[in-house]
Amino acid sequence: MNWIKIDNDSYGTILVSWCVCAVLIWLTARFIKSEWISIPLSAAFVIFMVFITWFFRVPNRTAPDARNDRLVTSVADGKVVIVDKVYEKEYLGRECIQISVYMDFFDVHCNFWPINGKVTYYKYHPGKYLLAFHPKSSELNEHASSCLANRHGEVFFKQIAGTFARRIVCYSEPGNMENRGDQCGVIKFGSRIDLFLPTDAEIRVSVGDKVKAVESIIAVLPE
């Protein structure tokens, strides 16, 4: 039997949610005498407990052609909302192709390394909690920035908090070698990933595409 794997950094959030729901179920049973109200309400709390556990699942996925250092796979599950040429000013200091993936409440929120390579940069930025769709959320919201590099180029990405996201976990440590498809962190609740690629990379996605972390090829780096 295959059990659902839960993100290691999310057990505390799950425990708090379960405790709150358990108290609410007890209060409902204690003070609401009408079974027509108390039973559906208690059932709703139980469903939420199951959902919050399922929300922090870590999918078991296999990266395509794991030894190919040119492949760039999606950091997150979600919908591609931006594919555009921009100037990346935080670290790379040059024009890049930005690909942004928006995660809703039903998407897997664990994140995964997009390429095989060495971590060359990491910085955490405290900030606001604008809607992840907001054009300025990439700069103003709480986010964590990381960069991976190999002989084919550099891939810079941001884990961006949304209105309901209140914690970003990132495993980036400059100097570490990472494998594409291994978990690199988690963003709790609705959020977004911004990925910045070389302008000569071969882009494989368009706005509106649904992508899956680890499995969906976002781009191919130049030779």
List residues with catalytic annotation: 191
Picking from 150, 91, 90, the residue whose alpha carbon sits closest to that of residue 116 is 150
Is the backbone of residue 153 left (phi > 0), alpha (psi -120 to 50) or beta? left
Which of 58, 154, 62, 136 shows the shortest CA–CA distance to 100? 136
- Whole-angstrom distance, CA of residue 82 vs CA of residue 19: 39
Cβ–Cβ < 8 Å for 185, 144: yes
Number of helical (H) and strand (E) elements in the chain, helices listed first: 3, 14
Q: What residue type is assigned to position 67 of the chain?
A: R
What's the one-letter identity of residue 27?
Answer: L
β-sheet bridge partners, residue 80? 101
In sequence order, the 6+-apart residues with CB closer than 8 A to the CB of 15 are: none
User: Do the Cβ atoms of 131 and 137 come closer than 8 Å?
Assistant: yes
**Distance between CA 76 and CA 104 in Å, rounded?**
11
- What is the rounded distance in angstroms from the CA atom of residue 43 to the CA atom of residue 144? 37
